[in-house]
Amino acid sequence: MMRAAIFPNPLCCCCLFFFFFFSFVFSISATDIITPSHPLSNGETLISAKGTFALGFFTAPDSANRYLGIWYHKFPGQTVVWVANRRNPIHNLNATLSITADDASLYLTTSGNSTAIWSSPSFPKSFPNPIGQLLDTGNFVLKSSNSSSFLWQSFDHPTDTMLPGMKLGPNLKTGIDRNITAWLSASDPSPGKYTLAIEPIGVPQLVIRDASGNWIWRGGPWNGFGFSGAGPNQYFDLGLYREFISGFNVSTEEIYYYFNSVGDAISIITMDENGTARRYGWQASLQKWDLYWLAPSDPCDFFSTCGINAFCNGSSSPICYCLDGFDPKNPASWSRGNWSDGCVRVANLGCGTNGTDEFMLVRGSKLPDTTEAVADMRLDLDGCRARCLMNCSCRAYASADLSMGGNGCIIWMAEIKDLRVYADGGQDLYVRIAPRGKGSKRKRWVIVLASVATVLFFLITLICVIMIRRRKGKYFFGEQLISSPNWADEIMHKGNEGNSEILLFQFTQIVNATNNFSDINKLGEGGFGPVYKGKLPDGQDIAIKRLSARSGQGLEEFKNEILLIAKLQHRNLVRLLGCCIWGEEKMLVYEFMPNKSLDLFLFDVEQGLKLDWRRRFQIIEGVAQGLLYLHKHSRLRIIHRDLKASNILLDIDMNPKISDFGMARIFDANEAQANTQRIVGTYGYMSPEYAFKGLFSVKSDVFSFGVLLLEIVSGMRNAGFYEFDSWSNLLAYAWDLWKEGNLKELVDPALDNQFQHDEVTRCVYVALLCVQESPDDRPVMSDVISMLSNGSLNFSSIKPPAFFAMKNASGSKRPLNLHVNDASNGLSVSIVAGR
């Protein structure tokens, strides 16, 4: 992608002198505009205001052809990001870019020929004083000198590079498709074979097309964080940390993907001549471009490798498999590795008449092709399931927006196509299948085989265990442990010193307790890996968090963290009972919380009734105490960084206990990214300075606490606030009601007006203080606690809360959801446009 410097060019040697002479002359009066009286001639360049970009003439590498283009001026090497006359090179050295005064048009001519090699559209005379200006974003615009709106802009006509601030996708009104099309070759910028574009039909998707319009690769629909099929690496720095912020916007006018730089970081996306799209970031310390992401990147990435009703598994061989309940359509060619015919159903669907169909869960999916799919942002997964069962064409459903806690869904109205499963990341897809029992002969066989295999597996494991025990004469803790036998003692010892007991579990104990990590025992998928319920032989229930392998932490560090965290003892923190290390596996064992998490009560109409105001207030106080302890009284000063309703667990008496504390320490404390669908921090709970600058402090936890407080009072999610069209989120809604003094409106209807008005007022006041834009305006937890309990609190005036994540006025904010034009009417995102 990084093209070589333009000169010296053999044909141009004689002009070098002139070139440098002119460069010199014009660098003195570097300007970023051309006007009718000051055109741009060969050898001159426009330099954007801060010197980021240059616009001028360059020679394509290994070629004599010259072009008008834009490149990064402030980086060495000439990274060309835009070419005006990509189809018509300049053979004559004397070219000029001019602007016509009377009809406002840019045109590129060569000496002695008045026919333009390239020109922008022209605009009527009503635009006085037209100028062409190179902006510091790399956008070359045509506008009226005293106006801020553009008549024409190069950002609407990208070549092979997407810059921060550009939009990728069709404008349905003007018909302009902003796509990025590769150069034909490294020495020829004319449009090449491959294009990265947004496909608007069905639920919009990111795709790479070839010259005849066939899809090479499909990034899939936007899932709130990224494109479903762009793979885990697309989140390089997660679009959140420093590097860039990205989003996707769907309206009846336009559909586009965009990203913006954060701070000084610069990232671009390019399309190359061989069909690979890449994202690069500028590495300032090394003065070079770093590759962040690319697609397609493996055989499963190519469009529909496995045909319909099949899935591609990149980590196994062969890579293609029929979905459960399907057989190869053409078994002979399938077994030869020609998968193009895909698979067919073994048993026909019941199709509604009896309502007997079932759904099979495919975890870790890249969502299948959504050309024939519809999205409905109002339904939850149960609603989706019901809707799918109502229509015989429906084949599958999945959550449409993971950033909103799984709100909205996509429903497939055609056979599953281009499905792949990821070892890590991906999302849940529910595929409709005929009722089990039909075609069950085959199933039973599978079950029998599976049981035999399991038994064999256990026998072999057992034999291995016994052999290793014999050899080492020691407990089987896993290899590393055997090599450092002292550490078990050490843990016991130190643990006791801190007045806590931390147990070292054997892997076999954990396997037995969880039925070998069976799905039935799975409680859920936390940010750092799955959580299982287990039962110890003495009957005690435990919860086991199986940390994903990528914690990036060495054994020694892990051990130290556990020792530290085990010392944190507070009645509002979930108690760590012990851990287990086995090879690469690291597991944490916690006390089991029978009432699961707060969100299950808070955001559920029926369960919400179980939380009366007294309980809610106790929960608020408990969480505040737990947080205060983490921030202040524990010797460690832990910043939780992911406080949210689903991380508040409830014991049998509904006492709140904060969970997942210390995880940010166990995972690399800087940028813990555990599950690819998740970053440390959750949208809706993240403070502005953390979300945009990666800065965190105890005040970021205070912000999350404020959001949680409002959620507990209102029973509504901050992220997921669809019902109230005129407010962008819960914070804005609460703020408006606070100003009006109408808090009754805010309180969860489940409370049926049974609440202490003064307590609610205090809670909302404190919450609004906690969610202030500036960390300095937020209280610390000790103040929060005293304010919550202070009956004679005096409500001084407060500033409006931060609405950062919801607004998009400056274009630099991140949208939280697939923007639906009119969510209040439940309009589906199913935009149909002609190809």
Ligand X SMILES: *[C@@H]1O[C@H](CO)[C@@H](O)[C@H](O)[C@H]1NC(C)=O
- Of 250 and 638, the one with the shorter C-beta distance to ligand X is 250
Contacts of 204 (CB under 8 A, 6+ apart): 169, 198, 221, 222, 248, 250, 255, 370, 829, 831
Shortest distance (Å) from residue 407 CB to ligand X? 17
Tokens of 374: 């519809």
335 binds ligand X (CB under 6 A): no
- Of 319 and 565, the one with the shorter C-beta distance to ligand X is 319
How big is the site for ligand X, counted in residues (CB under 6 A)?
A: 44
Contact pick of 27, 335, 338, 789 for ligand X (by CB under 6 A):
338
CA gap 360, 350 in Å, rounded: 15
819 binds ligand X (CB under 6 A): yes
Contact pick of 137, 179, 548, 704 for ligand X (by CB under 6 A):
179
Tokens of 762: 């205090």
CA gap 357, 697 in Å, rounded: 50
Which range binds ligand X by CB under 6 A, 174-182, 230-238, 378-386, 729-737? 174-182
- Of 312 and 589, the one with the shorter C-beta distance to ligand X is 312
176 binds ligand X (CB under 6 A): yes
Q: What are the angstrom distances between the C-alpha of 195 and each of 178, 329, 402, 720?
A: 10, 32, 28, 34
**Residue 623: what are its φ and ψ, rounded to 5°?**
-65, -40
353 binds ligand X (CB under 6 A): yes
Shortest distance (Å) from residue 514 CB to ligand X? 18
CA gap 53, 155 in Å, rounded: 14
Tokens of 466: 């016994």
Which range binds ligand X by CB under 6 A, 292-300, 310-318, 547-555, 615-623? 310-318
Contact pick of 37, 126, 354, 726 for ligand X (by CB under 6 A):
354
**Residue 16: what are its φ and ψ, rounded to 5°?**
-60, -40
- Of 80 and 413, the one with the shorter C-beta distance to ligand X is 413
Taking a C-beta distance cutoff of 8 angstroms, is the pair 492, 498 a contact? no
Residue 8, preceding bond cis, omega within 30 degrees?
yes
Which range binds ligand X by CB under 6 A, 287-295, 313-321, 508-516, 783-791? 313-321
- Of 96 and 607, the one with the shorter C-beta distance to ligand X is 96
Which range binds ligand X by CB under 6 A, 48-56, 86-94, 564-572, 667-675? 86-94
Shortest distance (Å) from residue 246 CB to ligand X? 11
- Of 115 and 518, the one with the shorter C-beta distance to ligand X is 115
Of residues 88-107, which lie at the interface with ligand X (CB under 6 A)?
88, 92-94
Taking a C-beta distance cutoff of 8 angstroms, is the pair 276, 296 a contact? yes
Which range binds ligand X by CB under 6 A, 27-35, 47-55, 173-181, 377-385? 173-181
Active-site residue (options: 418, 642, 660, 701): 642
End-to-end CA distance of the chain: 29
- Of 364 and 715, the one with the shorter C-beta distance to ligand X is 364
Which range binds ligand X by CB under 6 A, 32-40, 134-142, 243-251, 478-486? 243-251
180-185 and 188-199 beta bridge pairing: antiparallel
312 binds ligand X (CB under 6 A): no
CA gap 648, 644 in Å, rounded: 7
166 binds ligand X (CB under 6 A): no
Contact pick of 22, 119, 272, 671 for ligand X (by CB under 6 A):
272
**Residue 189: what are its φ and ψ, rounded to 5°?**
-75, 0
Contact pick of 273, 428, 585, 651 for ligand X (by CB under 6 A):
273
Which range binds ligand X by CB under 6 A, 96-104, 111-119, 233-241, 424-432? 111-119
**Residue 549: what are its φ and ψ, rounded to 5°?**
-65, -15
Q: Which residue has the tokens 């037995």?
A: 512
b/e string for 167-201 if b means 16 or more Cβ within 10 A? bbbbebeeeebbbbbbbeeeebbbbbbbbbbbbbb
Taking a C-beta distance cutoff of 8 angstroms, is the pair 798, 772 a contact? yes
CA gap 130, 149 in Å, rounded: 12
Q: E strands within 704-792?
A: none
Tokens of 379: 């339904």
Tokens of 537: 């032989």
CA gap 307, 289 in Å, rounded: 37
Taking a C-beta distance cutoff of 8 angstroms, is the pair 329, 344 a contact? yes
742 binds ligand X (CB under 6 A): no
CA gap 776, 213 in Å, rounded: 54
Helices vs. strands in the chain: H and E counts, helices first: 18, 43
Residue closest to 588 by CA, chosen among 578, 598, 575: 578
- Of 253 and 745, the one with the shorter C-beta distance to ligand X is 253
Shortest distance (Å) from residue 91 CB to ligand X? 9
428 binds ligand X (CB under 6 A): no
Contact pick of 31, 52, 313, 508 for ligand X (by CB under 6 A):
313
670 binds ligand X (CB under 6 A): no
301 is catalytic: no
Of residues 377-396, which lie at the interface with ligand X (CB under 6 A)?
391, 393
- Of 173 and 799, the one with the shorter C-beta distance to ligand X is 173
Q: Which residue has the tokens 């912000």?
A: 703
Shortest distance (Å) from residue 358 CB to ligand X? 12
Shortest distance (Å) from residue 423 CB to ligand X? 6
- Of 411 and 611, the one with the shorter C-beta distance to ligand X is 411
- Of 706 and 720, the one with the shorter C-beta distance to ligand X is 720
Taking a C-beta distance cutoff of 8 angstroms, is the pair 363, 428 a contact? yes
146 binds ligand X (CB under 6 A): yes
Taking a C-beta distance cutoff of 8 angstroms, is the pair 199, 220 a contact? no
Which range binds ligand X by CB under 6 A, 271-279, 466-474, 574-582, 704-712? 271-279
Shortest distance (Å) from residue 27 CB to ligand X? 21
Shortest distance (Å) from residue 253 CB to ligand X? 5
Taking a C-beta distance cutoff of 8 angstroms, is the pair 321, 430 a contact? no
Q: What is the CA radius of gyration of the chain?
A: 30
Amino acid at 797: S
111 binds ligand X (CB under 6 A): yes
Residues in touch with ligand X (CB under 6 A): 88, 92-94, 111, 113, 115, 117, 128-129, 146-147, 176-177, 179, 195, 197, 209, 247, 249, 251, 253, 272-274, 313, 315-316, 330, 333, 338, 340-341, 350-351, 353-354, 391, 393, 413, 421, 808, 815, 819
Active site residues: 642
